Chains A and B, each alone.
Chain A
Amino acid sequence: MKNRLFMLIAFLAFSFFSFAQQKTVKGTVKDERGEPIIGATIVAKGTTKSIISDVNGNFSFNVPTSATTLIVSSIGLDKKEVEIKEGTLSIVLKDNAYSLNEVVAIGYGTQRKRDLTGSVSSVSEKSLRDIPVATVAEALTGKMPGVQVTTTEGSPDAEIKIRVRGGGSITQSNSPLYIVDGFARDDIKDLSPSEIKTCDVLKDASSTAIYGSRGANGVLIITTKSGEPGKTRINYAGYVGIKNITKELAVLSPYQFARKQYERALYGDNKVKSEYETYFGSFGDLDLYNYMNATNWQDETFGRTGTTQNHSLSVTGGTKTFDYDATFSRIDDKAIMIMSDFTRNNASVKFNIKPINWMKINLAARYSNTVVNGSGTNDVTGTEKSTNDSRVKSAVVYQPINLTNLVAQNDDEDAISNLYSPLVNSQDNNRYQNTSDYKLNGGLTITPFKNWSLNSNFGWERTTKNDERFYGLSSYFVKDGGAGKRNNLPAPAISFRNTYTTVFQNSNTINFKKDNILESQDINVIVGEETYMKKSNYHLDDIQGMPQTYLSHEAWANPDSGTIKSQDYTFPDEVLFSFFGRVNYDIQGKYLLAATFRADGSSKFAKGHRWGYFPSFSAGWRISDEEFMVDTKDWLSNLKLRASYGASGNNNISNAAYMRSYSLSPTNWLPTDFPQSIMTVGSYIADKLVAVMPNPDLVWETTITRNVGLDWGFLNNRISGTIEAYKNTTKNLLIQLPVSGSGYAYKWLNMGQTSNQGLEFNVNASLVQSKDFNLDFGFNISTNHNNVDNLGTFTSYQFNEAWTSQSEASNSFVVTPGSPVGLIYGYKNIGRYDASDFTWTSGKWVANAGVVDNSAIDGLSWGPGAMKLFDKDGSGSITEADRVVIGNTNPKHYGSFNFTSNYKNVDFSANFNWVYGNQIYNANKVEMCSEYYKYRNLLTTMQNSYSQVDWATGERITDPALLEAANANADIWAVPTGRYATTSWAIEDGSFLRLNNLTIGYTLPADLMSNLHVQKLRVYCTAYNLYTLTKYSGYDPEVDSRRSSPATPGVDYSAYPKSRSFNVGVNLTF
């Protein structure tokens, strides 16, 4: 032991202090445009000596006389080996953006892009480097074909939905598998974008099958930055910015608001006296409302100017045998909504050590902490008790004027129970979330013989989530009597939910790689074994009956002032045990073959169903390397055809869903001489036991993918791109099937089949390449067509977007074989009823014979001008049978394009992304254009609604002719006061084209900086979400607010409004 340590020290010492006979090599490093490269690393091959080029790209390097070759490298450029010659070397490094030698991560290894046979999209460090974003997912938006990134709403901690080639599952998550530095993770929320070096997305089974049962939704592989041999560098990147809401919804003025309330009271059996006058005064004084100032509740709620500060500092450096990277970054984000902010700290250190030439060790430690303050505007994770508490509606339609009586007197059920000021609403649903994550990784690679290497990686991770919620007096939970009382009065409640997760991972691989195993034939074989083990438990304190005056912080600070009920649950471990292997075979660099295989054993399934096998095959043909293509060499630089076929799986269900479990949970409902807890039976979903019937016969769902791709490049790859076509078929869908009437809400089932097929195309082009001016253009477009092939024995079933409990606006998503997931069913609007459809009889409008009855939805406004719906079945009234497909939330295509350019030291980039042809269910609009509840304001959409009121007298017009004349200018039906309904009017085109970001930067002249020991200093400003071209009438068309089931996409209900931000930043390297 002592011996070995001594050897190691000696070895290290030797590498640092080695010297020998020396000679001096001079040279200049430039890029293809002839610009000097500053800070390029020059290493003498076979030694540990290195030097860095100066501001003019020059270097003068003392190397041992034995050295014959230099290795020159710089970030973003191809590494080059140069023979040492007499005189000054002129070294040109090629930009590696389009380089086929670029290496991509393919799972348990890397591969040169030119050798790929599967479908892999990548985002290089270069395109991540210059544009600061808060989250990794944002950085990926629009960067890769076939990868749709949706920012579901505007909150600083908004969930970012990543879908690789659509999604196969109907009820289960379609999120890809995340692999960071070789280790699987549930999400990448806690990563700082500044840590990322590259991101690769594996899209077809030939690349994902190596991840077996978890690969069906694609695999996102992130490689973080490591140190590089060379001089120590200190990088600082930071920016500050401001942001504001992009759009507010226009609401009625106080005068119009009062008019609508009058109208409603008049229709309601002439309840003007009891409903209107008490709060608004007499009809004659209506004009006074013209002079009242409206409170803009959206301004009060979302109107503040948010600020962002982001700082990232890293120190990197190393020698040939030892390199390191230490990074710290922090983001502080004050969001546009009151009480809403976000802070994240990341710290990491990474070492790569090569103590002996046949051994490599890497070690990394990573810490992150995220704090999210504020309630947000909704909660789809299920800890919120009701959509009643959703915050956007109160910010939009809360009374614009102070109606003294309405607030003071608690007599009117509508007024007291259904809407609160958004300020109260936000306070009473306050939330604090603090997540800490610790990770330790270590890896060992040895190369015992030539061509052989053995690798072993260990990872350990601990995540702690604290989720503190507050339920104030206005919250549904308290109001509805769900929370315990204090002094027999409703009282605030809080909950502390702490979740602890520990993950241990280990993978061991053996790699055999031999070039020219047969003549011009290379082989690369990897076999391995992997273990994944996850332990988690949570502790929940429900504390109710707090003092009535408490607000969130007092309540959180004094939990013992209420009645505490605790729950603690340890989940069954989640274990995955796997074997895998891959063979790549390369014949003359032209014919590429690959096969992978993985066997996964998972604890998620019952004995006998645990093992799954996932094979895949792929082949590539580099046509451009064929002899018969020699004539095209001067313009066609690359042409490769590849095809793949394979299977991967999805085991996205909770652990031990196959076995019946009971869990204790406290109850407030049983008399005190009963046990105060109950035993719930079912199985676990996420961290709560729900009434899901266990099913011991479950197996994973399997996706078969077929992929054909063509990679091409022209003019020395100045223009290059890929076109791909795929068809994925997912069988044995894991479905959480509603099983009404069984005593369980759902049952786990393998049932049915879906398919996704699509085309992807991308192109990158260097439009201008010159010394001073460069202009690059990138473009990608993807289509995906989803289809439900069959649903087993079922013909269809419904999914409830559940923004309201009203049936006409529920279960709008129906999954039917032959149609895609995401179709919206509802009623078709066909204008409005005329005065001639009704007769005024005994003080009521009575529909004439043959007029379709829609009185339930129109409510009090049933009569002339009422909203008219299509009576599909001709039954004479509007019923569920009249629902038809009124929308499709799947886009026809989506994509992005970007320009990057520089003129001398000024750089510029613009990124656009679009989604086309999808529809959105604007549920906000349904709620905000209805007077189902009294005393709510309306969107200006209803400004010129059909009205039966004679505004001169305040009386109801009952003469059809006069009525039609009075409404000659009405552009929309009478405000419905019946029930909410999903109608075609609420379905809007969600297409948009967004200027996602625009950046202008300036790099200070290198010679100026070198005097200050600064290698690089760039200042820039960036605008995000600068402009969106859309016809959508809501806040933002990129929205997905009812996410508890993937089968209800594209609903806009109470989504946190998006903001536009402007940042100024600096990148600094010493």
Chain B
Amino acid sequence: MKKYIILPLFALLAFGTFTSCSDILTVSSASNYSDDIVFGTPDQANIGIASIYEIFAENNSYRNRMWLQMGTNTDLEYRSGWADTKVGTYTKVDDLFSLYSANTTVAEGYNDNDANPWNRVYGGIERSNLAIEGIRTFGNPAAGNDMGQLLGEALTLRAFFFYDLIKWWGDVPARFVPVNADNIYVSKTNRDVIYDHIIADLQEASTLLSAPGGTFTATTQRISKDAARGLLARICLSAAGYSMRPDSTASDSIAIKITVSDTRKAELYTIARNACRDIITDGHYKLDSTYKTIFYQQCQNNVTPGREVIWQLPYKFGNRGRMLYNLGLPREADSRTGSHNTVAVGGQFKVMPSFFYDFDKNDTRRDITVVPYKVVKNVTLNVMEQSLASGVTGFNLGKWRSEWLSVPITGTDDGVAPIVLRYADVLLMFAEADLFLNGTEGADYFNQVRRRAFGQPLNTPSAYDLPLTLNNIKQERAFELCGENIRKYDLIRWGELKTKIDSASSNLTALRNGTGNYATVPSIIYYKMAVDSTIAPGERVLVIYGLNRGETDVKTTTDPTGGWVKKDWTKGISSTSSDFYLSDGFNTHMYLQNPDKRQLLPIMHQIILGSNGKLSNDYGYGN
């Protein structure tokens, strides 16, 4: 009977599957990369590192909100149009809270999903942690080899992310290994602990990383040895300075404090000075010949190692990142062929009017940084033209201009790579640390920055040199770094956020009244139009008289040069609501909340909800 033959076959079949059952359930996939593959070779690990950098380009990340907006609203820069959204108040320099419209109770659009900024930064930290763990386990990193460079980049980027978290949220959960069941829900860590950890990381990274021009450091958009050193200096200065602490509540009279001991403070300054000195001594960088070059070449995407820029956030040029869209000189859309921008750009931030007049008129940084016009379309002539602001309140930030771009902007993303660290900052940080440590080398480096600004030979003392004092450093950093996402954190670490903003307020009143430091500022300016086709065909540009102190001649339409139009400038009354006269309202509504008690963002509701009870808001915010 055939069936008796089939029966054993049946049994065999069943038995065959039974025996293999322990293996059959362990599956893998040809495409599944595991840590040993990802971090085992430099080529693969390089992709792992690129993934960390990619965080900068994510939406609601550094590409738009974070790097380009968080550092403004100081005594120098303020968000334009902010006043429009609050009925009856004209606040220019409000705290981060209102700037960012983050609210602990109302979940704001970009804060309430997983694409929120907090999550983006922690995404970067997780990718860094995976890379650090992976490379250490599988990559044999050492100083001078590719894996060493890649590990150094991961360490530096992680430090950078933690530093930014501290800047924006104060104490945050520290997580230095990839997320696991033990560290997914953790409470805030004292930021001094985090500082110590990332300072050590950066010190390690500085030894691992290559100098510019190595396999992975041929571009200023990747971390090199000097980028790590510069960030180390910057972080040490912050760690040694003032900050808001969880135990400082909104009702405290002293909301900000310094928590490190004097000994540690001296250590931190020493680390900072050494880091800057290493950069200077190695000589891989130098000041660009003119101040304009820095930003012009940045807009041209023509930045290479060996000049001023040490590190930029990496964006594909023309493709991702909203530098000009956010911070550019405002320029209306120009639909003509060959235009610089087919979409409107810029104008989200303005410059405090008095700051223009704080500059020496020979300081080349002034006309790059502060611009009294925007560029509009003259529909009648079908050309673009500079349009003078209605009054002194219309000063715009001018460091980034779409007319400097090597390719036109056709969308909101221009891909101009924001500069995080440049050599002038290193020189000034060196000077500051050196001053604190009673050194002798700082003054010359400090004055090199000034000499470049005034077009003087760098290494020869000039008439513009100033003595090295803390106040001079503070002022110089304002002139040099305005609009570069640095001022706010300088003021915070110096404990001067409120006092400086308050003095900006009194400066505005003095400017209007023509008193004090502003007694010699002309209240009237004259302008006329000229054509500068080098910018764009037929582009009409302004010729202005009266912006410099002492320019008090009366110009008329019949002057020898003729065609002047008169404009009330510092005392002008604007007819539209978007440009404000320097009224008391404008001058005094600097903020709604005491800036020294509102230096940090609240943690978004969503994050607190998802923290399994581990997080709550401090610093006077409710939950």
Contacts and interface: CB of A to CB of B under 8 A. Distances in A.
B195 interface: no
A977 interface: no
Contacts of A194: none
Given A574-B27, A661-B33, A743-B126, A844 B87 contact: yes
B620 interface: no
Nearest to A602: B25
19 contacts: A448-B4, A481-B412, A490-B411, A529-B18, A575-B24, A663-B32, A669-B319, A672-B316, A673-B221, A674-B53, A674-B314, A678-B50, A679-B38, A697-B181, A740-B116, A806-B109, A811-B112, A844-B88, A879-B106
A601 B613 CA distance: 36
A681 B126 contact: yes
A778 B381 CA distance: 78
A293 interface: no
B91 to A, nearest CB: 17
A302 B188 CA distance: 55
Interface in B1-44: 2-4, 6-7, 10, 13-14, 17-18, 21, 24-35, 37-38
A451 B57 CA distance: 70
B114 A678 contact: no
- B contact patch SS: loop
Interface in B482-532: none
Given A488-B407, A570-B29, A670-B314, A446 B3 contact: yes
Interface of A: 4, 269, 356, 358-359, 410-411, 413, 446, 448, 454, 456, 479-481, 484-485, 488-490, 506, 508, 529, 531, 533, 537, 568-575, 577, 601-603, 607, 610, 655-656, 659-664, 667-675, 677-681, 691, 693, 695, 697, 737-747, 793-794, 797-798, 800, 802, 805-808, 810-811, 844, 846, 855, 879-881
Given A572-B29, A855-B87, A668 B320 contact: yes
Given A481-B413, A601-B21, A738-B610, A446 B6 contact: yes
B606 interface: yes
Nearest to A690: B114
B3 A603 contact: no
A612 to B, nearest CB: 12
Interface string B604-615: 111101111101
Most interface-central of B34, B123, B408 (chain A CB within 10 A): B123
Contacts of A664: 33, 47
Nearest to A478: B411
B47 A570 contact: no
Nearest to A455: B10
Contact of B609 (A448, A798, A800): A798
B577 interface: yes
B107 interface: yes
B27 A269 contact: no
A880 B102 CA distance: 13
A660 to B, nearest CB: 7
A841 B25 CA distance: 74
Given A573-B29, A670-B57, A681-B126, A529 B50 contact: no
B317 interface: yes
B126 A742 contact: yes
Given A529-B14, A669-B315, A678-B51, A661 B32 contact: yes
Contacts of A603: 24-27
A174 to B, nearest CB: 23
Nearest to B180: A693
A35 B107 CA distance: 71
Interface string B575-610: 001000000000000000000000000001111011
B17 A529 contact: yes
Contacts of A602: 25
Nearest to B603: A741
B605 A880 contact: yes
Nearest to A797: B609
B540 to A, nearest CB: 19
A677 B50 CA distance: 8
B34 A662 contact: yes
Task: Pick the 9 closest A-B CB pairs, nearest first.
Answer: A743-B126, A669-B57, A662-B33, A745-B114, A669-B320, A678-B51, A481-B413, A740-B610, A481-B411
B179 A448 contact: no
B219 interface: yes
Contacts of B410: 485, 488-490
A485 B319 contact: yes
Given A448-B7, A674-B314, A662 B122 contact: no
B99 to A, nearest CB: 17
Given A575-B27, A670-B57, A741 B122 contact: yes
Nearest to B56: A669
Interface of B: 2-4, 6-7, 10, 13-14, 17-18, 21, 24-35, 37-38, 46-48, 50-51, 53-54, 57, 63, 87-88, 103, 105-114, 116, 118-119, 122-127, 130, 173, 179, 181, 184, 218-219, 221-222, 314-320, 333, 335, 344, 407-408, 410-413, 417, 577, 604-607, 609-613, 615
A880 B105 contact: yes
Given A577-B21, A670-B316, A680 B610 contact: no
Output the residue of B4, B125, B411, B607 with the most chain A CB within 10 A.
B411
Nearest to B577: A269
A210 B494 CA distance: 71
B47 A679 contact: yes
A744 B17 CA distance: 38
Contacts of B25: 575, 577, 601-603, 610
Contact of B108 (A358, A797, A807): A807
Contact of B219 (A656, A671, A739): A671
A675 B47 contact: yes
A675 B50 contact: yes
Given A269-B577, A574-B27, A810-B112, A656 B32 contact: yes
A572 B32 CA distance: 8
B31 A880 contact: no
A793 B184 CA distance: 14
A811 B124 CA distance: 25
Contacts of A481: 319-320, 411-413
A607 B23 CA distance: 11
Contacts of B604: 740
Nearest to B22: A601
A667 B319 CA distance: 11
A742 B108 contact: no
Contacts of A693: 179, 184
Contacts of A807: 106-109, 111-112
A802 B32 CA distance: 31
Contacts of B18: 529
A671 B107 contact: no
Contact of B31 (A607, A663, A739, A744): A663
B107 A573 contact: no
A741 B107 contact: no
Contacts of A738: 114, 606, 610
A653 B212 CA distance: 47
A659 B29 CA distance: 12
Nearest to A875: B105
B333 A410 contact: yes
Given A446-B3, A797-B609, A805 B110 contact: yes
A529 B113 CA distance: 45
B1 to A, nearest CB: 8
B543 to A, nearest CB: 28
B197 to A, nearest CB: 17
B455 to A, nearest CB: 32
B87 A846 contact: yes
A740 B119 contact: yes
Contact of B417 (A479, A575, A668, A671): A671
A807 to B, nearest CB: 5
Given A508-B10, A663-B33, A681-B130, A671 B26 contact: no
Nearest to B317: A671
A855 B87 CA distance: 10
